[in-house]
Amino acid sequence: MQSDVGEPGQSQGIYVTEDVRSYILQRKRDFRVSTSCSGPILLPVAVKPPKATDLQIQIGDYTVYISKYQARYIDSIHRGMIPIFYEDF
């Protein structure tokens, strides 16, 4: 898998917002940004496993995998990508 992390929480110009960083660190697991019918979605890798072609962003001890298809179109990973049924801020 490709890893190209500049500063923590940023890869290929993709920024992870602070509320999403907190969300990931509180849940203590890896996540993946993948495609859904309503746009990019952030899911645990237990639900949507990473692929060898995914980009990676390190958030503490955890990794956010980003589908190569979504990476072209997003510049940030934000709270709106968290499905409402996973959200408990």
User: What kind of fold does domain 10-80 have according to CATH?
Assistant: Hypothetical Protein Aq_1857; Chain: A; (2.60.300)
Judge contact between 40 and 70, C-beta under 8 A. Answer: yes
Tell me, what's the pLDDT at 5?
40
Q: Which comes out higher in pLDDT, residue 9 or 37?
A: 37
The domains of the chain are located at: 10-80
The predicted structure's pLDDT at residue 85? 64
- Ordered DSSP codes for the chain: ----BSSTTEETTEEE-HHHHHHHHHHTS-EEEEEETTEEEEEETTTS---TT-EEEEETTEEEEE-HHHHTT-SEE-GGGS-TTT---
Q: Does pLDDT of 8 surpass 50?
A: no
pLDDT of res. 17: 96
List pLDDT tens digits, range 31-75. 999 988 888 999 999 999 999 999 999 999 999 999 998 899 999
